[in-house]
Chains A and B, each alone.
Chain A
Amino acid sequence: MAAPKKNENDLPDKLHVWPYLVRLEFLCSIVVMIFLTVWSITIDAPLEEAANPSKTPNPSKAPWYFLGLQDILVYFDPWFAGVVAPVLIIVGLMLIPYLDVNPKGNGYYTYTERKVAIWVYAFGFLVLWIALIIMGVFLRGPGWNLFMPWQYWDPHKVVALTNVDLPYAFGFRDYWMSSLFGGAVVIGYFVIGTGVYFFTERKALKSVGFMRMFIKINLLLIMVGIVIKIVLRLGFNIKYVWVTPWFNI
């Protein structure tokens, strides 16, 4: 016997946690535990041969959740890909609530009220994090070379390294001149990017605040810069943009 359908607005706004939420949590736990148990019965955790420090596997891969970071090692030196980038990701994520001052979209799904925020986060998460992980797990073979899923992982695959540094491509041959040029490009990118942002958003400066806008645009420029570096490397065979005696970018 079907009960007459009640109008949503007539129902009380607040419900008792017992039984409504607790039973949901209980059911959800049972479903997940069944799934996990079946998974654990059918698929065994891997155990390879005993650890052997004198036998390096090729490729050597970090745990899958770090393969996005391992993949940007192709484009950046370890100090950036392995240390500075993860720190910036963590700090940047923590800063999100303090940088995003848009009061709309608090507690409900909306795209139209916060397009930029959703694009930035979805791009960072789905492309720079998840897509690079998928690539690292399935497409990176021996020598960290790219292999399509149907290709044999040939450990002797030779890939010609014809990369040059950006100043070299622009005709600079002197070490210090190259370094100056590279520095000008990198610093110029951030200065101009910040300047353009402050100019276009000058009306927001008063309400949003200088520090907030400055940190926001520079974190964004770093994120976009990673993409630019990937494109420069894959499309134009550029190794470093800025070479100095202490670090290379």
Chain B
Amino acid sequence: MATKPNIPNFAEIMNDIKSGKIFSDIAKQITESQIWTSSFRHGYADTPRNRVLQIASNVWLHLHPVKIHRHALRIKFTWCMGGITFLMFLVTVVTGVILMFYYRPVGEYAYYDMKYLQYDVPFGMLMRNMHRWAAHSMVITVWLHMFRVFLTGSYKPPREFNWVIGVFLVTFTLLLSFTGYLLPWDQLAMWAVTVGTNMARATPFLGHEGPFAEFVGVTSRYDARSVLLGGSLVGPPALLRFYVLHCILIPLIAGALMIVHFWRIRKDGGISGPL
């Protein structure tokens, strides 16, 4: 006969629950399992070793250095504006992907998809509002970030190059916002973009109304503006172009530059501070 399996009686189980032993047993079972130990390579106890590993072994956090200067934590110094700008970018990425499920960048559909989003899609209006207000906030916070960096002289050696990357990022933030402005395909969108892109036809040499255009031979159908719009006015081809620029090309470029920007902060010796 096999030995009788050790089945705990009811009183023992109740005792374990009351004393809390059962919870530490379950926690031990989980944290010592192969799944857990392969996912989390260090403990959570607040030790210097774990503090380092939290940053160094986490792909999302490892863009940070493991240690920073005390002054870099002061909100009075940083205004938190760079971080908030990045957060706003992430918000527009998430809400933007959701909006892309419902929106078609086609002249016949675009405006009605907006109406559909606003009135029929669950949380559609909220997603649209968050996308738009985050985009506007991002424009403001990136300007304030730049102002702060100027006031603290943080563009000075050795951080000159990162300032240049930052100016590119400000420009791409504005271009992201501007290309998105056309997509609702309403009067506000069409005419704001008409006003904005009309400037391109005054480009010296390359715009058909610009200085010295007659020496180049550009026409209203073939100049800097028509390349941008895919035609001589803001029509369906412009909508498609702006959609592709807004959802694919500019986010890719801006994302790549952000990686460089954040990386260079560390490589240039962390955020600036008194020497």
Contact = CB atoms under 8 A, between A and B. Distances in A.
A36 B91 contact: yes
Contact of B68 (A15, A39, A78): A15
Contacts of A37: 130
Interface in B178-193: 178, 181, 184-192
Nearest to B72: A21
A63 B55 contact: no
Contact of A44 (B125, B150, B189, B235): B125
Nearest to A12: B70
A60 B134 CA distance: 24
Given A40-B129, A49-B186, A107-B154, A17 B64 contact: yes
A97 B159 contact: yes
- With most chain B CB atoms within 10 A of its CB, the pick from A20, A46, A82 is A82
A163 B129 CA distance: 44
Given A21-B73, A32-B87, A48-B186, A107 B68 contact: no
A13 B129 contact: no
Interface in A1-43: 11-22, 24-25, 28-29, 32-33, 36-37, 39-41, 43
Contact of B156 (A39, A49, A105): A105
B61 interface: yes
B185 A62 contact: no
A21 B271 CA distance: 13
- With most chain B CB atoms within 10 A of its CB, the pick from A17, A70, A96, A121 is A17
A114 B190 CA distance: 44
A100 B204 contact: no
Contacts of A246: 211-212
Contact of A20 (B73, B114, B132, B185): B73
In which size bucket is the chain A interface?
35 or more
Given A53-B190, A53-B234, A14 B209 contact: no
Contacts of A33: 87, 91
B200 A93 contact: no
B191 A45 contact: no
B171 to A, nearest CB: 6
B204 A36 contact: no
A118 B155 CA distance: 13
Contact of A28 (B83, B153, B167, B204): B83
A55 interface: yes
Given A48-B188, A66-B196, A83 B51 contact: no
A61 B181 CA distance: 12
Interface string A168-190: 00000000000000000000000
Nearest to A80: B202
A192 interface: no
Given A16-B48, A19-B51, A53-B235, A36 B163 contact: no
Contacts of B207: 79, 83
30 contacts: A14-B69, A14-B70, A15-B70, A16-B66, A16-B67, A18-B52, A20-B68, A37-B130, A41-B126, A41-B129, A44-B129, A45-B133, A48-B188, A60-B194, A61-B192, A63-B192, A78-B198, A78-B201, A79-B211, A90-B167, A90-B171, A97-B156, A97-B164, A103-B156, A106-B157, A107-B154, A107-B272, A107-B275, A125-B143, A246-B211
